[in-house]
Amino acid sequence: MAIVVTGATKGLGRETALLLAEEGARVVGTGRDHEDGASLERAAADLPGQVVFAPGDVRSEDDVAAAVATCRTRYGSLDGMVVNAGILGPEGPLHETTGEQWDEVNDVNLRGAFLCTREAIRAFLDQEGGGAIVTVGSILSVVADPFISSYTATKTGLLGLTKAIAVDYAARGIRANAVLPGDMETPMIAEYFAGQPDPAAARAEMEAAYPIKRLADPREVALAVLFLIAPESSYVSGTHILVDGALTAKTY
């Protein structure tokens, strides 16, 4: 399989790119940080598959098109697209959120996903066999958390986009599904804890909210992505997998 993974230099994106390469896939991983991209390539050097870094920003139509073109030129096809790149954005009440803050989150999380899925679909339609899309949403695609309304709105919209693609292109051999993780042990969550008055207390409070009493290892979420992007899930489309330690299954 030849797959593009966006936001592949950190956290879940990095873990997903490396897991796919472990399984023999040929991966083009995108991101904005060249040093992290080089680190990703080095980490994949001895794996059965391959990871090539393609610098770029999902907000740029040219960068997205270039990543897909790199995959098709280097590997001969595009078989899958993992839409992972995203940002948290501002925390605070909606009435204090500026238009610029809202637009920034939307540009990355939703418009960027539109550009990535559109380019993937164009490639799939241009070749035989279709392809698979996996979007990375959040538990906030289906529930809400206080004071992150812009993030919640974009992740909810992303799930809707995923379902629409699945319905619209099923007859053309294109599948689309979403993985909805809870909190993971990633640089993003580490940065969040570091910004709290009492990081240890903040972590303890977050972990206590999960019935499983811990945060996810990114690999646990990447395994769900692997299943949905692989041919073995050929009859799975238009749905989502919650990987959240039973958080959204409880009432309180």
pLDDT tens track for 8-29:
999 999 999 999 999 999 999 9
Q: Would you name the residues annotated as active-site residues?
A: 151
Neighbours of 69 (CB within 10 A): 15
Residues 44-74: tens digit of each pLDDT: 999 999 999 999 999 999 999 999 999 999 9
Q: Say what the pLDDT of residue 107 is.
A: 98
| Residue whose entry in the numeric block shows the structure tokens 């619209």 | 168
Residues above pLDDT 70, as percent of the chain:
100
What does pTM read for this prediction? 0.96
Residues 202-213: tens digit of each pLDDT: 999 999 999 999
- Evaluate whether 50 touches 61 at the Cβ level (below 8 Å): no
Radius of gyration of the chain (CA): 18
Q: Say what the pLDDT of residue 23 is.
A: 98
Q: Say what the pLDDT of residue 34 is.
A: 96
Across the chain, what does the average pLDDT equal?
97
- Evaluate whether 158 touches 134 at the Cβ level (below 8 Å): no
The CA distance from 2 to 81, in Å, is 9
Residue 128 in this model has a pLDDT that exceeds 90: no
Nearest to residue 78, comparing CAs of 39, 32, 124? 124
- Return the sign of the alpha-carbon dihedral for residues 248, 147, 155, 196: negative
Quick one: pLDDT band at residue 188, thresholds 50, 70, 90? Answer: confident
pLDDT (mean) for 134-138? 98
Domains and CATH numbers, the chain: 2-184+219-249 (3.40.50.720)
Quick one: pLDDT band at residue 245, thresholds 50, 70, 90? Answer: very high
Residue 252 in this model has a pLDDT that exceeds 90: no
Residues 39-51: tens digit of each pLDDT: 999 999 999 999 9
Residues 149-170: tens digit of each pLDDT: 999 999 999 999 999 999 999 9
Write out the two tokens for 13.
């994106």
